[in-house]
């Protein structure tokens, strides 16, 4: 009997977490170098962001790894809803990421979870880093 109650409780809390993440998961999230986050409701190609920011490149949070250069998202790639992307200075494109670099990016991305400094925009909005 205890296992069933525990199981139901676990399912219920899991469903609550999914619901609370639902609206955020439906957006493309871009973290700027200053830590501010912008969310886009519509799908968009990487070139929309990089063309407005010629001294920066986009990389996916999922592709970052220690002691490797951050891989650039291709200009024609469609940014995926529910994913976090970083807008990084081109100077970092050929520099392997060290542990402090990854920690800094993780701290900036954590604002996505708490929605601190998040702006929700349409795909035609200008994106200019500070």
**Helix, coil or strand: residue 113:** helix
In CATH terms, the fold of domain 26-121 is: Ubiquitin-like (UB roll) (3.10.20)
Rounded alpha-carbon distances, angstroms, from residue 44 to 3, 5, 122:
46, 44, 9
CA dihedral sign of residues 41, 47, 50, 54: negative
Confidence bin at 42 (pLDDT 50/70/90): confident
| C-alpha to C-alpha distance for 98 and 88, rounded to whole angstroms | 15
pLDDT at 44: 93
Tell me what the mean pLDDT of segment 88-117 comes to: 85
* Domain ranges for the chain: 26-121
Q: Is the pLDDT of residue 52 over 90?
A: yes
Check residue 14 and give its pLDDT: 35
E strand map for 1-130: 28-31, 37-40, 44-45, 56-60, 78-79, 84-89, 118-121
Considering the entire predicted model, what is its pTM? 0.69
- Indicate the burial class of 71 (C-beta count within 10 angstroms; 0-12, 13-18, 19 or more): middle
């Amino acid at each position: 009997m205890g296992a069933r109650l525990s199981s139901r409780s676990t399912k219920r809390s899991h469903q609550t977490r999914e619901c609370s993440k639902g609206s955020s998961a439906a957006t493309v999230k871009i973290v700027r170098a200053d830590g501010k986050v912008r969310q886009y409701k519509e799908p968009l190609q990487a070139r929309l962001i990089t063309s407005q920011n010629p001294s920066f490149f986009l990389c996916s949070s999922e592709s970052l790894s220690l002691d490797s250069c951050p891989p650039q998202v291709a200009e024609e790639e469609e940014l995926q809803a529910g994913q976090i992307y970083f807008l990084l200075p081109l100077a970092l494109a050929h520099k392997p990421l060290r542990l402090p670099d990854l920690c800094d990016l993780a701290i900036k991305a954590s604002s996505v979870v708490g929605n601190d400094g998040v702006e929700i925009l349409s795909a035609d909005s200008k994106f200019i880093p500070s």
